[in-house]
Amino acid sequence: MDITSLNLDYFYAHESEQFSFFRIPKTLISDIRYKHLSSDAKILYGLMLDRMGLSVKNGWLDEENRVFIYYPLEKACQDLNRSKNKLTALLPEERNLNLVLDLLNSIELRDDPEFKNAVDTLMEQLETRHKEQNKPVPFCVKQYKKFQQAGYKVGQSILATANAHVATLELDEVRQFLSKDELALDTLGDRYTALFIITSDTDTTFNFLAAILYTQMFDLLCDKAKDCPKGRLPIHVRCILDEFANLGKIPNFEVLVSTIRSREISVAPILQTKSQLKARYKDHAETIVGNCDSFLFLGGKEESTIKDISEMLGKETIDSRNTSQNTGRDKTFGQSYQRIGRELLSKDEIASMDGGKCIVQIKGCRPFFSKKYNLTKHENYKYLSDADPKNEFDVRKHLKTLGRVQAKKSDVVEVYSVG
């Protein structure tokens, strides 16, 4: 291997100012969200940012005043000294549900064997490209061919059914919500983070979005844990799933709840009654409950819930003494002793349980009564809005100021003029 030696002189005084520089935002280097990006990807971003001035000068803006950056692929390959395939892998790919909707909307069916819609052409190009690179035919191409074989009438029925299932996703607000990733779910196990997912407690229309989010989060964190020491995340991720039955059904949750614990992930489903869980997860409800190491009952009177708890508590042994006496002509007296079992707590005793008490069962321990914790006694209660309305967090105000630069008088900033 030939290594060319470069003899470069030192800089003196202000000689460094004679050079032109490409700008790479510091956040790409320091922010943990971008640590997975390669050096080439960060340099490419700087090169594209440099060409933004040209776009503004030529008026390459859309209706919302967003800048289009024109950077030919051949020019980028030359600047970075990288092959076309290598550079293409660095470019961001749009992978979200909006793209799925756009593809679905691009499927136009006609009763004409010669007609090809946009997706037909896209799949043909994808198959050709993979064959040229000696790669297997993509799974999506195989499945789309099966759809094409269904014929015009059956295809129309399949398409109508698919559009009906994703109709809610077509709303402008939902499409905007799904357009970009601002949560960085794969970083939850890297540092201490609190993520609040708030859904309506009266309207369940969009609760499926929360289920999609949890599914994506579990998939990302489990895949990430595989690459961590001992297959566990550096920081434990705990999911407190309040009103669990109203979140929408999380696919394969009965499997996840038994496997994610080894990845340093835990879940705490919170329900009003166990019947809610059975209604949502059917036969898998018992599996989910059985894989929870701790069980906390705060009170209630739903029939199936208190019945299951009474059986869970088991029975106790009591001594029974029966006395009989006959006061007839021949007086007799009899007495018998026996031991019988009864529920530790009957259903009516559980239903009328003291409101200040709760029942706790921890794996490996017998169930026991406990007093409910008085939240107002906690040292940090004073910081809650319940203690002082001034502590309430205004989400709408926060979103309006999100992304705005608020420089202090002591801050040192650089001002650039683009145009």
Max alpha carbon distance in the chain (Å)? 131
pLDDT at 120: 87
Mean pLDDT highest for which of 4-18, 46-60, 107-121?
107-121
Per residue in 14-56, pLDDT (tens digit) is: 665 666 778 888 888 877 667 767 788 888 888 888 888 777 7
- For residue 128, the one-letter residue type is T
pLDDT of amino acid 94: 60
Dihedral (CA of 378, 382, 388, 389) sign: negative
Residue 408 has what pLDDT?
60
**271 assigned to some structural domain:** yes
Task: Report the Cα 268 to chain-centroid distance in Å.
Answer: 15
pLDDT-derived band of residue 238, with 50, 70 and 90 as boundaries? very high
Are 162 and 190 found together in one domain? no
- Same-domain pairing of 216 and 286: yes
Compute the average pLDDT of residues 377-399.
87
The string of DSSP letters for 308-335 reads HHHHHH-EEEEEEEEEEEE-SSS-EEEE
Residues 192 and 255 in one domain: yes
- Residue of 179, 178, 237, 238 lying closest to 213 (CA atoms): 178
Residue 275 lies in a domain: yes
Specify the pLDDT at position 417: 47
Same domain membership, residue 127 and residue 68: no
Q: Which residues contact 249 (CB under 8 A, 6 or more apart)?
A: 211, 280, 281
Average pLDDT over residues 290-318: 86
Residue 78, domain member (yes or no): yes
Please report whether residue 241 resides in a domain: yes
Q: Which two tokens stand for residue 170?
A: 């077509």
The pLDDT assigned to 229 comes to: 86
| Alpha-carbon torsion (372, 373, 374, 376), positive or negative | negative
196 with 102, same domain: the answer is no
Percent of the chain topping pLDDT 90: 12
Question: Between 240 and 29, where is the model more confident?
Answer: 240
The domain boundary residue, chosen from 139, 170, 201: 170
258 and 275 belong to one structural domain: yes
Pair 50, 67: CB distance under 8 Å: no
Phi, psi (deg, nearest 5) at residue 73: -60, -40
Q: Answer yes or no: is 359 within a domain.
A: no
Do residue 157 and residue 195 come from a single domain?
A: no
197 and 148 co-located in one domain: no
**Cα distance between residue 196 and residue 118, in whole Å:** 40
Four-point Cα dihedral 360, 361, 364, 368, nearest 10: 50
Highest mean pLDDT (candidates 29-43, 284-298, 303-317): 284-298
The reported pLDDT for the residue numbered 25 is: 83
Tell me whether residue 200 is in a domain. yes
Percent of the chain with pLDDT over 70: 85
**CA–CA distance, 275 with 286 (Å, rounded to integer):** 11
- As to burial, measured by CB atoms within 10 angstroms (0-12 exposed, 13-18 middle, 19+ buried), residue 350 is buried
Query: Do 254 and 198 have their domain in common?
Result: yes
DSSP 344: S
Location of structure tokens 């919302």: 64
- Shortest CA distance to 298 belongs to which of 396, 375, 185, 216? 375
Same domain, 39 and 57: yes
What is the average pLDDT across 246-252?
84
Q: Which conformational region is residue 233 in: left (phi greater than 0), alpha (psi within -120 to 50 degrees), or beta?
A: beta
Q: Which of 279-293, 340-354, 377-391 is least confident?
A: 340-354
At 1, is the pLDDT very low, low, confident or very high (cuts 50, 70, 90)?
very low
Looking at residues 185-192, what average pLDDT do you find? 84
pLDDT at 418: 44
Q: How far is CA 186 from CA 20, 168, 216, 238, 274, in A?
A: 37, 26, 9, 14, 31
Count of domains observed in the chain? 3
Closest CA to 346 of 309, 319, 317, 372: 309
| Residue 355, domain member (yes or no) | no
Q: Is residue 4 part of a domain?
A: no
Mean pLDDT highest for which of 22-31, 67-76, 260-269? 260-269
Per-residue confidence band for 308, with pLDDT thresholds at 50, 70 and 90: confident
Tell which of 74, 90, 106 closes a domain.
Answer: 90
pLDDT band at 371; cut points 50, 70, 90? very high
pLDDT above 80 for 167: yes
Q: What secondary structure does DSSP assign to 174-225, as a single string?
A: HHHHTSS--S-GGGTTTS---------SS--TTHHHHHHHHHHHHHHHHHHH
Summary mean pLDDT of the chain: 81
pLDDT band at 90 (very low <50, low <70, confident <90, very high): low
Please give the pLDDT value at position 11: 62
Structural domain for 137, as ranges: 97-170
Mean pLDDT of 183-203: 84
From 71-85, 100-114, 352-366, the region with the lowest mean pLDDT = 71-85
Same-domain pairing of 68 and 44: yes
pLDDT of residue 286 exceeding 60, the answer is yes
> With 50 as the cut, is the pLDDT of residue 2 above it?
no
Among residues 141, 170, 199, the one where a domain terminates is 170
Whether residues 144 and 62 fall in one domain: no
Q: Give pTM, 2 decimals.
A: 0.64
Provide the pLDDT for residue 98.
82
